[in-house]
Amino acid sequence: MALYKNIDELLEGTEENWVTSVNQLINQSSDELVGNISQSKLNSLSADKIVQYGIVIGFKCFKSGLKYSQLRRYIDEIKTIDQSSDKINKIKLFRIQLLHGYSRQKEQLEPFYQFVNGLIKSNKIHNDKDFEVFVNLIDSITAHFEAFRDDNND
């Protein structure tokens, strides 16, 4: 059974301006969300925004019918890249793997692909600090996706 049925339930009791911000983000496409990150580097993204983007993308992934095992494959690869000494180049090459999966499962992978691919191709990951924020975004997406998914959503 899912922890939350919808975003409103997840946000219950949260301060109003935060809820308003999430509700504005949920109506935007993944491409628009990437465009909203106006800073040229991810490391200037606030913790609130990391959580808000995680809620929105995690919920969109859940609504698209993405399976946990499908998402986990990409998360595991990002975690492997995080252990590498050449993170910046390897994350750029990760786009190939992401595109391959997207070509096979477009509908399910759409929100995750558009957001992650958009962050990578917009060249917002310049250094280890940016990569750390990128991993925090991925962790936030995964955690919120898990909060919405049913136990039998493989």
Tens digit of each residue's pLDDT, the chain (154 residues): 678 888 888 888 888 888 888 888 899 988 888 888 766 668 888 999 999 999 999 999 999 999 999 999 999 999 999 999 999 999 999 999 999 999 998 999 999 999 999 999 988 888 999 999 999 999 999 999 999 987 665 6
Rounded to whole angstroms, how far apart are CA atoms 117 and 94?
A: 9
What is the structure's pLDDT at 34? 87
Range of the domain at 56: 7-148
Please indicate, yes or no, if residue 47 is contained in any of the structural domains: yes
Please indicate, yes or no, if residue 153 is contained in any of the structural domains: no
Integer distance in angstroms from the first to the last C-alpha of the chain?
12
pTM of the model: 0.89
Please indicate, yes or no, if residue 133 is contained in any of the structural domains: yes
CA dihedral 91, 70, 137, 25 (to 10 degrees): 120
Please indicate, yes or no, if residue 154 is contained in any of the structural domains: no
